[in-house]
Amino acid sequence: MQGKDDNFRTFFDNMGDIIIVGSPDGKIFYTNPAASLKLGYSPAELNGMHVLDVHSADKRREAEQIFAAMFKGERETCPLPLQHKDGSFVPVETRVWFGKWSGADCIFGLCRDLSREQEALQKFDRLFRNNPASMAFSVLPGREFTDVNDAWLKTLGYSREEVIGKTSEELGLFAQPERGHEVAEQLLAYGRIADLELKVKRKDGMVLDGLFSGEIIESQGEKYFLTVMIDQTQRKKSEAVLMDSEERFALAIDGTGAGLWDWDMPTGRISYSIQWKRMLGCEKHEVEDSFSGWKNLWHPDDSALIEQSMEDYLSGNASRFEIIYRMRHKDGGWRWILTRGDVVRDAQGKPCRWVGTNLDITEQRRMEETLRESESLKIREELLENALTITKNTLRDIVSLLSKIVELRDSSTAGHHIRVARLATAIAKKMGLTEEQNGYVQTAAMLHDIGRIYISTELLNKTGPLIDLEYKLVQMHAQKSYATVKDIDFQGPIAEIVYQHHERMDGSGYPRKLRGSEILMEARILAVAEVVDAMLTHRPYRQAPGIEKALQELSSNKGIKYDKAAVDACLELFQSENFDIQSA
């Protein structure tokens, strides 16, 4: 029996949540270290206290009643906070059950610390309150408003008292009520909506053009609509004013031989002039008026450069947008295109419209290439190519050896590097990265966990949950991997890709908390592939969640934790092309 108690004590002592063990009359005789850490009492001070004494005096009677109901099976948890020795409160959720300790009857109490959850709720509330976009919560199934932010009230001209408890129908918000009903049904059916245009009425009767997004969220057993509206009334008016002048401008541009494109960024629609399509041998109906209609015509080797140039310009890292690349002609050949453009931003500084021109400079490029060509240049290029082939073969052998060393140390990840490399390179190809970048992705994928050789096999193969210190030790493999490969001349940013493969777009990753454009595209791709294979693989401490959970994780965090383009490419591989990570 003593051995069993020792096992319980060891388990409890390593838990991050508070454990309290007391006699049936409520006297405490054991607490774990987390109790002292979170409540400020020493173990000696806690021992002998009554379980009700860790609640504030004004809550003890209520706590006693709740515990009595829990012991009768009438409720599962107690939501009351515990009181710190200094008088402050620790938000917890408490569960209790009967058991035995050293052969005697006892009561076990588990108090889960909710401090982080409450902090997250407070952050969300600040974001909700201060967001410049109009945001609203409405409870299902009646769709009565339960909360709206200040931007919503200011935009639509209501007071909070006039809105809470009412429905959009009762307020007459939608200028076209049947359209509002359709959108609500769509949200119920699919769980989310994005970028839907609806006309809404202010309290004073003025009609606004709203761009709506929303999703269903669940809190404390209730389901809610969370909707976000961007007021684009002014933008719509500006577009109407510009329409006539744009037609005249398009005629002038066509006279220069250049093709005009006009990108409505909130809706994603791009209008291409007749000349834009004609320079590629296409009729008006043969190119879709969307970004994909343009992107599908890019040369695969130029895609990454084009997207990076767009990102640099939109983020302000480049003062102008001007790029030369190749587009596919209807006859199957490639045309060299010079693209220039300028962006229009809204009052918040966000890009709302991008207008530019395409000019066919194929003949000019051919003349330049003819002047540069020479036989001696061809010979030097052949010698260089042969030398690179030899170097690449040697490095490939080194990479293969290092990845096998990792698998010998951590049997639960056998084949992980090869599967991640297969998926990551498939994503890179789908995204149109260059052949050189594909090579970087494949090499980094084979090496990304080499740092695990510095972690003990006992920790790598532990069957239970990791404590905070153990988790931090495992996280160090990213730095160790970087240190292991950084001095190898891979002719590319392999070490940095390895270093970044656990970073996330929103800065929540590790080890350097990088975000957004600070993370290499190759590392973003590797992060997506690594997440998929990790969730397809059994580990000592859990079963594999499976492909559906993996794809759901990517979809839920697309554009948040994970790069949007990389996630889209990954989802297309599995959902449309039946990608097999085991034998691709």
Tell me the CATH number at 320: 3.30.450.20
**490 and 401 in a common domain:** yes
Extract the residue ranges of the chain whose pLDDT is less than 50. 1, 375-377, 379-380, 383-384, 386-395, 397-398, 401, 403-404, 406, 408-410, 412
How far, in Å, are 379, 431, 439, 571 from residue 568 at the CA level?
42, 9, 21, 5
The Cβ-side half-sphere exposure at 327, using a 13 Å CA radius, reads 27
In a domain, 237, yes or no: no
Q: Is 568 helix (H, G, I), strand (E, B) or coil?
A: helix
Is the Cα torsion angle 542, 548, 552, 555 positive or negative in sign? Answer: positive
Asked if 350 contacts 361 with a C-beta cutoff of 8 angstroms, the reply is no
Six-digit token pair at 531? 């997440």
Last residue of a domain, one of 370, 391, 416: 370
Length of the chain measured in residues: 584
Q: Report the domain count for the chain.
A: 4
> Can you point out the beta strands (E) in 277-403?
321-328, 334-345, 351-360
pTM for this prediction:
0.36
Orientation angle between helical segments 468-475 and 477-485, nearest 10 degrees:
20
In a domain, 240, yes or no: no
In a domain, 170, yes or no: yes
In a domain, 584, yes or no: no
Tokens 């190519």 belong to: 385
Six-digit token pair at 376? 């001696």
**308 and 362 in a common domain:** yes
In a domain, 417, yes or no: yes
In a domain, 478, yes or no: yes
Q: Is 361 helix (H, G, I), strand (E, B) or coil?
A: coil
**476 and 554 in a common domain:** yes
Six-digit token pair at 18? 């508070």
Orientation angle between helical segments 375-409 and 416-431, nearest 10 degrees:
140
**502 and 478 in a common domain:** yes
**99 and 75 in a common domain:** yes
Q: Which residues contact 557 (CB under 8 A, 6 or more apart)?
A: none
How far, in Å, are 164, 378, 455 from residue 152 at the CA level?
12, 66, 52
In a domain, 243, yes or no: no
**425 and 556 in a common domain:** yes
Peptide bond into 141 cis (omega under 30): yes
pLDDT of residue 114: 83
**502 and 484 in a common domain:** yes
In a domain, 376, yes or no: no
Run of H or E residues at 295: helix 291-295
pLDDT of residue 36: 92
DSSP 57: G
Please state the separation of Cα 289 from the chain's center in Å: 28
Query: 530: domain range?
Result: 382-575
N- to C-terminal Cα separation, the chain: 54
The Cβ-side half-sphere exposure at 407, using a 13 Å CA radius, reads 15
CATH of the domain at 441: 1.10.3210.10
Last residue of a domain, one of 81, 113, 145: 113
**466 and 540 in a common domain:** yes
Which amino acid makes up residue 136?
Answer: A
Six-digit token pair at 156? 């639509």
**226 and 174 in a common domain:** yes
Q: How many Cβ atoms sit within 10 Å of the Cβ of residue 82?
A: 22
**Max Cα-Cα span within the chain:** 97
pLDDT of residue 552: 95
Last residue of a domain, one of 370, 392, 424: 370
**Neighbour-count burial of 140, counting CB atoms closer than 10 A to its CB (0-12 exposed, 13-18 middle, 19+ buried):** middle
172-198 exposure pattern, b = at least 16 Cβ within 10 A, e = fewer: ebbbeeeebeebbeebeeeeebeebeb
Six-digit token pair at 517? 């454009």
Q: Is 351 helix (H, G, I), strand (E, B) or coil?
A: strand
How far, in Å, are 77, 244, 404, 423, 517 from residue 419 at the CA level?
44, 55, 13, 6, 26
**567 and 432 in a common domain:** yes
**357 and 392 in a common domain:** no
Nearest by Cα to 539 from 378, 413, 437, 420: 413
User: What percent of the residues of the chain are helix, what percent strand, and what percent coil, each to the nearest 5?
Assistant: 50, 20, 30
Q: Is 186 helix (H, G, I), strand (E, B) or coil?
A: helix
By DSSP bridging, strand 92-101 and strand 104-113 are antiparallel
**395 and 535 in a common domain:** yes
Alpha carbons 493 and 498: distance in angstroms, whole number: 9
Alpha carbons 568 and 527: distance in angstroms, whole number: 14
